[in-house]
Amino acid sequence: MEDHDKLKKLLGLIDLTSLESIDNEKTITELILKANDGYDGHYPAAVCVYPNFGNLVRKTLLQSINTAVVGGSFPSGQTITVAKIAELKLIEKTTVEEVDIVINRGEFLDGNFDFVKNEILLMRKAAPTKILKVILETGELKSEENIKKASWLAIDAGADFIKTSTGKGTAGATLQAVEIMCNVIFIHYQKSGKKIGIKPSGGIREIEDALNYMNLVNGILGEEWMNKKLFRIGASSLYSAIILELKKPHE
């Protein structure tokens, strides 16, 4: 029974996502129906899509489920800064609650930390009412020191969540990267009293893996983080797998 309770909790922490080049109104509507169906009164934390589908999702999704979109030249983070700001201003005018942006890893790896921080600050300012999730793309940052520095940059620039990956790179989430990010969040919380959310994302396909991330975050940050306001998992393929597992007869 305890396992079932844990799986239901996990279901409610997932950002159900479709970020495909062939997405259209039909595929997104199917995603919305999947989210609205839920399982036994349990639903995903949010549905995450490209910005052009944001209003459609918000209009037809259950009110208890948040609508998230991606921005900031997702997934590469490579474009003119004013274009990123313009995109975030347009997203601010939509009915969605959340936006997942991505840092410019090229500038970061070149040591242009002030540039990266300033871009996040400007995007934060452009969408002041939205929950801001900042994707670090930890697999491309290579070192523990870089992941730590990027985490601090994002938090200092106004991130509500820090997130591992776009899911479009060659490497996704790792327990090591999430541990580093959680430790930064913990130190920040001790210093400021402000809780920052964490979102492991990218390549999390097995239930056991997702539970390992949940246990890791719980172990470092505590039970206070075990809710959708502070902890998300980006693992859409996992959503159906959890429901299949929950539907199995009790032994």
Residue with tokens 């327990």, as numbered in its chain: 175
Half-sphere exposure of 195 (CA within 13 A, CB side): 15
Dihedral angle of Cα 225, 98, 211, 209, to the nearest 10 degrees: -140
Sequence-ordered alpha helix ranges (H) in 110-235: 113-126, 138-141, 144-156, 175-192, 207-221
**Among all residues, which ones are annotated catalytic?**
100, 163, 199
Show the DSSP H helices in 40-172 as ranges.
Answer: 54-60, 81-92, 105-109, 113-126, 138-141, 144-156
- Give the H or E element holding residue 34: helix 25-37
Are the C-beta atoms of residues 42 and 5 closer than 8 Å to each other? no
- Other CB atoms within a 10 A radius of the CB of residue 80 amount to 9
